Each structure stands twice: as structure tokens, then as C-alpha cells.
Amino acid sequence: MAMANQNSDRDFMRARVKRSIERGLQALETGAIRFDDWQRLHLAAALDEFRDGHFESALEAAERIQNAALNRRRFPGRFSRTKSLTEYRAEFEQLKKAPRHN
């Protein structure tokens, strides 16, 4: 029974993360928020953590995509290779189809 509850909790968290990433992507795609360095960083982190099954970290990163106060700070670094928003969307669509981690 404990294993069933654990799987149910992971499924619930996975679904929450998917919704949060989807909201962030939609906000970026519609232009509701700009696709700048901070958003790129948070989106990449959310997708990486989601891929690795670290759903709490993925949720935190996904929610930061739309955090205006956090994203107003000067970005201290730069990316060696920048992906387009379309590439991030395609990556997310593939992750949604992938089998879940247990």
C-alpha cells in the first residue's frame, strides 16, 4: 500500500510540474512575458529536473519562469548555446511522452 501511495504522490507532482511548465511556455509563446536570459535559465532547469524525475525542483524552476521580481535582476552570466523557444517546446513535448521515472 505504501508503494501505491508513493507512486500516486509522484504522479500528482509530475502532473503539477507539467501544468506549471505548460503555463510558463504559453506565457512565453504568447508574449505575455519576454523570453530573456532568466526565463531561459529557469525553463532549461525545469526541463532538466523534470527529465531526471526531480519534480519538486522542476516545479520550483517552472514557477520562476513567470516570477517578475526575480527575473528583473541583472543576469550575471551567458549561455554557451542558446536554444529557441520552439526547441524548448519540442523538448517538453518529448518529455511529456516519455515513460515516467519511479
Count CB-CB contacts under 10 A for residue 13. 16
In tens, the pLDDT along 31-88 reads: 999 998 899 999 999 999 999 999 999 999 999 999 988 778 887 777 667 899 999 9
pLDDT for residue 102: 47
Inter-helix orientation angle 2-30/37-51, to 10°: 150
Angle at 63 between CA 91 and CA 2, to 5 degrees: 85
User: Would you say 28 and 73 are in contact if contact means Cβ atoms under 8 Å apart?
Assistant: no
Predicted local confidence at residue 100, as pLDDT:
65
* 97: alpha, beta or left? (left if phi > 0; alpha if psi -120 to 50): alpha
Residue 101 has pLDDT above 90, yes or no: no
Check residue 1 and give its pLDDT.
55
- Specify the pLDDT at position 68: 81
